[in-house]
């Protein structure tokens, strides 16, 4: 059984305010970036999710989501896990 829509850990560089400026897209990504860094041209949307807090630190969810426009014109959805401080690409 394959789990669908599983987020992948990715590398992201941010500016002084914490917004993503470039993203290292995996070569297996549908955008065919061949594992290169791509420039973020616009933050289209941003929201925070805090959930499962009552379960404790091992199961708590605290994420900052971004919908980004990249230089190819495509949109991608990323989130920063605020507990682990790791970036993830949310597959669609």
pLDDT digits 0-9 by tens, 11-67: 999 999 999 999 998 776 556 567 789 999 999 999 999 886 667 666 778 999 999
Q: What residue ranges do the domains of the chain occupy?
A: 8-89
SS3 54: helix
Q: What are the tens digits of pLDDT across the range 52-75?
A: 666 766 677 899 999 999 999 999
Burial state string for 1-39 with b = 16 or more CB within 10 A and e = fewer than 16:
eeeeeebeebebeeeeeeebebbebeeebeeebeeeebe
pTM for the model: 0.81
pLDDT at 41: 98
């Amino acid at each position: 059984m394959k789990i669908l829509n599983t987020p992948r850990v990715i590398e992201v560089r941010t500016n002084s305010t914490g917004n993503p400026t470039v993203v290292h897209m995996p070569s297996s990504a549908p955008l065919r970036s061949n594992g290169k860094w791509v420039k973020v041209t616009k933050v289209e949307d941003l929201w925070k999710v805090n959930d499962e807090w009552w379960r404790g630190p091992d199961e708590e969810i605290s994420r900052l989501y971004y919908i980004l426009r990249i230089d190819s014109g495509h949109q991608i959805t990323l989130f920063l896990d605020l507990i682990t401080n790791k970036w993830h690409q949310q597959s669609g």
